[in-house]
A and B are shown apart, each in its own frame.
Chain A
Amino acid sequence: MSARDANVEAQLARTWADKPGLVGWLSTTDHKRVGRRYLVTAIVFFALAGLMALVMRTQLALPDNHLLGPDRYNQFFSMHGSVMMFLFAVPVMTAMGAYLVPLMLGARASSFPRLNAFGYWIYLFGGLTIFVAFALDAGPETGWTAYVPLSSSDFSAGHRTDIWSQMVNFTEVSALCVAAQVVTSFMVTRAPGMRLDRIPLFVWAQVVTAFMMMFAMPSVMLASQALQSDRQFGTHFFNPGEGGDPLLWQHLFWFFGHPEVYIIFIPALGMISSIVQTFARRRIFGHTAMVVAMLAIGFLSFGLWVHHMFATGLPPLGNSFYTIASMLIAIPSGVQIFCWIATLWLGRPRFATPLLFVLGFFALFVIGGLSGVMLASVPLDTQVHDSYFVVAHFHYVLIGGAVFPLIGGFYYWFPKFTGRLLSEGMGKLNFWLLFAGVNLTFFPMHWLGLAGMQRRIYTWPAGLGWEWANMAATVGSYIVGIGVLLFVANVVWSLRRGQVAGDNPWDAPELEWATSSPPPPWNFTEAPVVRSLTPLWSDTPIEWLRGLKSDKREMLLTSIAEARPTARWGCPDPSIWPFLSALTLTLQFIWTIFDPWGWVWASIPMAVAMTIWFWPKKSEPSME
């Protein structure tokens, strides 16, 4: 490194530094710090919701068990589902995106850094709200789907359901913030030369997901607002006695709820693609087919929500349409599986923990996918819907399809996040514990469903032959618990003692590995020039486009299709106001649980906070 470079980096460090102390901690807009917080928060929520699952499995290990009463059990399974779906699965995927997308695009920062930070705070406060409520015996009690009229004020008195519905609003606001940020980053902050056909599949996955969020999330927000309005103001959106309809809730909920599953799954596809490519030591086979498949999944996923409602007596011909749409999803999914296997065949695979988790994904997810094809059949669905067969199906899909790739991705990118590798030995043990535990927990549940055990029962009677399967599932869940504990132990141990990684420990081809581990606050000193899908595997060393200022927070904007440099953009400074704005929105959301006037009065501090946040500053560099 020349003396000039050292000077430039010192100046960049001053320019991109956060303020010191607590204020700096609260006002950071660095997508890596925000992304790390997102990840840690989501994993903590995951662990808590997992503990709840262990308690539920303990309750269900034996017949007629009364460790938990019905009220407590209902809160446990409602929390488990709501936390896993709203506070873990979606946020953890967007967290990986928040951290990695700007790095993979070769950008110095994300497109809306303050919005990104605001999104995190809203997510955190929403999560805290529901956990505090749960600790005060006011957790949700009507499942993560909160079907009306069970969730109406007649059957769910008190504020439990109001708090749940407000938690939904928190997480959806947060998700929309991240979605806007990811899409904009994708459109205008790509490295020069990163044409549409040179974008990593991980980024495509995040973009497809972000678009899906924009279409799916408003539906559930609309539903939860209507529910709150029914509960607070006595409107009749869902009241059949006054012309409303309980099925309206299910349509609105599943119009969000089914894409939600793919919002969780598609980012995992991106992670698998990165891992398979690196460890097969070969560019991914069928890059275009993979992108088209992801777009197809994203599109189709909005056309099959009714398969959650086959037992509600909708017209048979309409149901048949949703059968076909649901089955069609198997085609793009099959294309993806095929392309990964082809990549491994054509490449020279190297076994390491990240790839092991991807292989676990194949073994688990395809079981869930095939049982999903069976669920698409109307007659078969009416048998296994709302039974333990479905519980088995969606845990295979979500754990196999999302959690395994996520953990694989965590092992893969941990050196980038922290500068150290996770222990491979513990990693392999970790994999086998989780793989065995998940199968032992969920495989017998297929049989339980076919043997007539319905979902969401707090206890079950002896004498129906359900004993062995429930005991096996409980033992399996404890093994999963030990596996997760080992994962946490590995992270804690490796943070201190792990092998130092260097910039690119896996010899990976994508841009996030072109900078140091962990990356500096400005990510890249100069803008990398991209000439292929796998820039770090090209024969010539990477070229850098010079000219970005180091005394101002400046980043390069490029054109949408060809990624030609178009402008230098002054990235906003860190600010405490996203945090304070999030506090005012939290005040409003919590206030309105108890008193509708909160909508009015809490909007005043929110307007003040947001006005200051968006107040134009003369000192900020403008577009050049």
Chain B
Amino acid sequence: MSQQVLAPAADQAQAIATVWQTMFWPNVVIYMAMLAALAWALWRRRAVVADAAVQARQERNWVRALVAWIVFIALVLTAYTAVSFVQDRHRLAHAPDALRVRITANQWWWQVDYLDPDPSRQVGTANELHLPLGRMTRIDLLSGDVIHSLWIPALNGKEDLIPGRSTQLALTPRAIGHYRGECAEFCGLQHAHMLLPVTVESPAAFAAWLDARRAPAATPASPSAVRGQQVFESGTCAMCHAIAGTSADSHAGPDLTHIASRPMLAAGALPNDRAHLAAWLVDPQAFKPGTKMPNPRLQPQEVSDLVDYLEGLR
């Protein structure tokens, strides 16, 4: 999973990397020149007896050099500002056919809704973001509680999600792959575990993935999974989570309709596999201290059934 600012995989991150390249090397040269000037000032050969007239001339030369130095800094800053301004407009550019997504940040997970002019085709998921290659996705950013910030370093700079406000982020990915998204604004106890894994795929693969999201949850395939669904619907799980196609329809926590197909659990706190899922269900606070998910206090058999059920939700 890539998360390098200087290995851009989208137009926006590329624009920013251009600004970096523009400013980095001149800055290195300026720094080295400053150190060289300092060394020269310290260790130059000096006349044993300083002549007053010579000193006065030296000082006049330094005044001229100061003026030149100020002009030089001003020119460098002007160039930096111009490049920064132009590239920022690239970063903020709109595309009329952009895919629309709404992301709502919560302590400590991401709700991701794919918008559509036809409301019946809108679909939600959580803690994963899939993007089509080569097409701009415009994301509306909202917050359900405190200020968060969405940062996918390989794709674009970060943008805050602020309660009471709506902000936007555009992503035009140019390379298929997996990218790390994370919360970059301190948001409380589990700021460290608030990841948003991003998958960039071909437009066809993306369309297939999105269609699969629109399908209701898979029906349980084994007796233990059937029991697991009963545990889910009749226990505490359904008080916070939704699984489309079942009676569980609460949105206080992440939607779990296709939980088994996601890369990670609990917004990046755990790998998504059977053993970790079972351990998480037994004691969420052990893996993500402070998470809003309470200990569901399940019997071992119930945990096993529930895991069978959830592992089938692809």
- Give chain A's interface residues, CB within 8 Å of chain B: 69-71, 74, 142-143, 147, 149-150, 154-155, 240-241, 245-247, 285-286, 289, 311-313, 316, 319-320, 323-324, 327-328, 330-331, 334-335, 337-339, 341-342, 344-346, 348-349, 359, 362-363, 366-367, 370-371, 373-374, 376-387, 449-452, 454-461, 464
Contacts and interface: CB of A to CB of B under 8 A. Distances in A.
A381 B74 CA distance: 21
A380 B3 contact: no
A362 B62 contact: no
Nearest to A344: B41
15 contacts: A147-B185, A312-B162, A323-B85, A330-B77, A337-B34, A338-B69, A344-B42, A345-B62, A346-B55, A366-B34, A373-B23, A374-B27, A455-B186, A456-B191, A458-B192
A382 B16 contact: yes
Given A335-B69, A379-B16, 10 more contacts: A240-B163, A240-B165, A285-B59, A313-B168, A323-B85, A344-B41, A348-B46, A452-B3, A458-B191, A464-B1
B15 A379 contact: yes
Contact of B158 (A143, A311, A342, A370): A311
Given A313-B159, A345-B41, A346-B55, A331 B77 contact: yes
A451 B5 contact: yes
A311 B162 CA distance: 10
B70 A334 contact: yes
B84 interface: yes
Contacts of A459: 192
Contact of B4 (A319, A323, A341, A452): A452
Given A155-B188, A383-B153, A459-B192, A149 B163 contact: yes
A366 B35 CA distance: 9
B209 interface: no
Contacts of A371: 27
Interface string B23-57: 11001001100110110111010100000000100
B164 A246 contact: yes
Interface stretch (B117-125, B143-151, B216-224, B241-249): B143-151
Contacts of B85: 320, 323
The 8 A-B pairs of least Cβ separation, nearest first, read A240-B164, A382-B157, A452-B3, A313-B167, A457-B192, A345-B41, A377-B84, A456-B186
B88 interface: yes
A454 B151 contact: yes
A335 B85 CA distance: 26
Interface residues of B, number: 82
A301 B40 CA distance: 32
A380 B289 CA distance: 33
Nearest to B86: A379
Most buried by B among A328, A349, A379, A381: A379
Nearest to A345: B41
B140 to A, nearest CB: 11
Nearest to B30: A370
A451 B6 CA distance: 8
B169 to A, nearest CB: 9
A342 B34 CA distance: 12
B274 to A, nearest CB: 20
A401 to B, nearest CB: 14
A382 B66 contact: no
Contacts of A247: 162, 165
B190 interface: yes
Interface stretch (B176-184, B295-303, B305-313): B176-184
A380 B19 contact: yes
A381 B55 CA distance: 45
A346 B41 CA distance: 8
B91 interface: yes
Interface string B242-263: 0000000000000000000000
B62 A346 contact: yes
B156 A323 contact: no
A202 B245 CA distance: 73
Interface string B172-207: 000000001011111111111000000000000000
Contacts of A387: 151, 184
A371 B80 CA distance: 13
B192 A70 contact: yes
Given A71-B289, A378-B84, A451-B3, A370 B31 contact: yes
Interface string B101-141: 00000010000000000000000000000000000000001
Contacts, number: 229
B167 A377 contact: no
Given A69-B289, A71-B290, A386-B149, A380 B164 contact: no
Contact of A150 (B55, B77, B146): B146
Contacts of A359: 38, 42
A370 B166 CA distance: 33
A319 B84 CA distance: 11
B64 to A, nearest CB: 11
Given A285-B59, A380-B16, A341 B163 contact: no
Contacts of A370: 27, 30-31
Nearest to A454: B184
Contacts of A456: 186, 191
Given A149-B146, A313-B165, A379 B192 contact: no
Given A155-B188, A349-B42, A342 B162 contact: no
Contacts of B141: 313
B81 to A, nearest CB: 6
Contact of B31 (A324, A338, A367): A367
A285 B60 CA distance: 11
A383 B159 CA distance: 9
Given A246-B163, A373-B23, A450-B4, A386 B192 contact: no
Looking at B19, B40, B156, B166, which has the most chain A CB atoms within 10 Å of its CB?
A: B19
B183 to A, nearest CB: 7
Contact of A331 (B31, B73, B89, B182): B73
B77 A366 contact: no
A383 B165 contact: no
B38 to A, nearest CB: 6
A139 to B, nearest CB: 14
Contact of A383 (B16, B44, B81, B182): B16
A457 B191 contact: yes
Report which residue of A323, A342, A367 has the largest number of chain B beta carbons within 10 angstroms of its beta carbon. Answer: A342
A71 B189 contact: yes
B147 A147 contact: yes
Contacts of B149: 311, 386
A163 B119 CA distance: 48
Contacts of B163: 149, 240, 246
Contacts of A149: 145-147, 163
Contacts of B40: 345
A379 B3 CA distance: 17
A335 B66 contact: yes
Nearest to A280: B41
Given A316-B88, A344-B42, A346-B62, A143 B77 contact: no
A386 B185 contact: yes
A330 B164 CA distance: 36
Contacts of A289: 66
A345 B55 CA distance: 11
